[in-house]
Structure 1
Amino acid sequence: MSRVPKAGLPPWKRALDLVFVAASAPVAILVGGGVALLVVCGSPGPVFFRQRRVGYKGGQFVCLKFRTMQVDSETDSHRGYTTEMIKSGTPMTKLDAKKDPRVIPLGSLIRATGLDELPQLLNVLCGEMSLVGPRPCIPYEYEVYTEEQRMRFNAVPGLTGLWQVSGKNRTTFNRMIELDVEYSEKKSLWMDIKIIAKTLPALITQCLDMRAARKNARAKQSKQPSPVAAIGKPVQSL
């Protein structure tokens, strides 16, 4: 097990983060500029979305993302959906995976590809996040965690992680906890490199899953009789 300093980042992990951020900066700036343009053209409002998230040892920080939802979108539905998902043990499908009207044009694609999280490279640069680690959660999610579940934050939160490359939305909340705790206990340079290498294939699989799910949803919807047809259909006598 790695020796973890007070900041939660072993020297090798901090070095890997800085090298990766420096190497990827030109591409990240170019791609990020394109995403920012899509956000500006798709919806009036700020390009970035700032939200307080829970990270290492329960500490909070401001997490950056490209905005993919309409400004001032309500959050009560997300709070209720997340709380129920944690308690029920159902697969961790995002609420916006079901054609959420709050999402801006092309927002679902930006989210599915993980491009909305590009600004978090700045969080990595500041040492608030790492390339690999558990995803930071929203404070109201953390409030319903048990002490065992909070152990996932014995590691600094990351852009990708063991859970993300092990099925992600096809897994349950409890399985996510198991994978994140496993990572926090066994993290190493080689483990981080393997997870980073598996991230792109995992993202491709996630996009294909999302496409298949929406195709199935449209197929089911097309098979349902329209209200007009149902009303106009004559009632058979017995």
Structure 2
Amino acid sequence: MKINDVNLQPASAVVVVPYLQSSIKRIFDLVFASTVLLLTSPLWLVVVALVALDGGPVLYAQRRVGKNGKIFRCWKFRTMEVNAEQTLKALIASNPAVAAEWHSTQKLKNDPRVTAVGRWLRKTSVDELPQFINVLNGTMSVVGPRPFAHDQIALYGSTALAKYLATKPGLTGVWQVHARHDTTFACRARYDEQYFQQASLATDLALVVKTPLAMLRGT
């Protein structure tokens, strides 16, 4: 499935990453993701046991927009109650404040759908460990713009969207490190544009180094 209902800028307006740099980035992704998955395998066993306590599935697949507009399954450890989508619809319909917050940020600061285990997983970002599987299968990169849902396209902006579609979304990036949970969706798109303007292997490595610090801060 691809996005076919958005007017994108011509390809010449998009900065194309040189083939060599792209190849090196892919090699880095494979080595880094494999190493992290190996080192965190004992943690996986603990998380799987905790998440499965309520009888629901351990993993949750979110449908996200990837490179060239392809829709892919973005994997996470499940952090919400089983019927989270239905609960969200009911909350939005019954509470104007919740509806306004969701429209602005596409998140709820105090989300009642998140389980007790899920709150810990989110605070430590452990819930996103399964996305290293996405890195291995090539649908994501270690560093890049944050993947978003198809129904959030209008919030992203056509200029930034054209650049977004030219690369793979990332597990970490400028927004994830510097402004996670603290900005509107529109600001998030601007952070992604900043990444596109400064994209390089050095930038990626710097963001990877800063990511554990953001995790320790719980931000």
Report if TM-score (shorter chain) is over 0.5.
yes
Deviations 1:49-106 (A, max 9, x none): 1121112232210111111111122242579557620xxxxxx4831x31x3322222
Q: Which residue of 1 aligns with 2:95?
A: none
Q: Does 1:34 align with 2:46?
A: yes
Q: Does 1:84 align with 2:84?
A: no
Deviations 1:168-208 (A, max 9, x none): 2223333321221121233111111100000011122235x
Q: Does 1:136 align with 2:158?
A: no
Q: Which residue of 2 aligns with 1:44?
A: 55
Q: Which residue of 2 aligns with 1:222?
A: none
Per-residue deviation at 1:143? 4.2
Where structure 1 has 5 or more consecutive residues not aligned to the other structure, the ranges are 86-91, 208-238
Larger CA Rg, structure 1 vs 2 = 1
* 2:115 aligned to which of 104, 107, 118: 104
Per-residue deviation at 1:155? 2.5
Q: Does 1:183 align with 2:198?
A: no
Secondary structure, in 3 states, of the residue corresponding to 1:136? Answer: coil
| Structure 1 residues 4 and 67: CA distance shift in structure 2, 3 A | farther
Q: Which residue of 2 aligns with 1:155?
A: 167
Q: Distance in 1 between matches of 2:209 and 2:156?
A: 30
Identity of aligned residues (%): 36
Q: Which residue of 2 aligns with 1:94?
A: 107
Query: How many residues are matched?
Result: 195
What is the TM-score with the length of structure 2 in the denominator? 0.79
Secondary structure, in 3 states, of the residue corresponding to 2:48? Answer: helix
Amino acid at match of 2:182: R
Stretches of 4+ aligned residues off by more than 3 angstroms = 77-83
Q: Distance in 2 between matches of 1:188 and 1:60?
A: 25
Alpha-carbon contact 2:79-2:119 (below 8 Å) kept: yes
Q: Which residue of 1 aligns with 2:4?
A: none
What is the TM-score with the length of structure 1 in the denominator? 0.73
Amino acid at match of 2:27: A
Secondary structure, in 3 states, of the residue corresponding to 1:53? Answer: strand
| Structure 1 residues 63 and 30: CA distance shift in structure 2, 3 A | same
Secondary structure, in 3 states, of the residue corresponding to 2:51? Answer: helix
Secondary structure, in 3 states, of the residue corresponding to 2:61? Answer: strand
| Structure 1 residues 152 and 72: CA distance shift in structure 2, 3 A | farther
Per-residue deviation at 1:152? 5.1
Question: Which of 21-30 and 69-78 deviates more?
Answer: 69-78
Q: Distance in 1 between matches of 2:138 and 2:46?
A: 26
Q: Distance in 2 between matches of 1:83 and 1:39?
A: 25
Q: Which residue of 1 aligns with 2:177?
A: 165
* 1:120 aligned to which of 111, 124, 131: 131
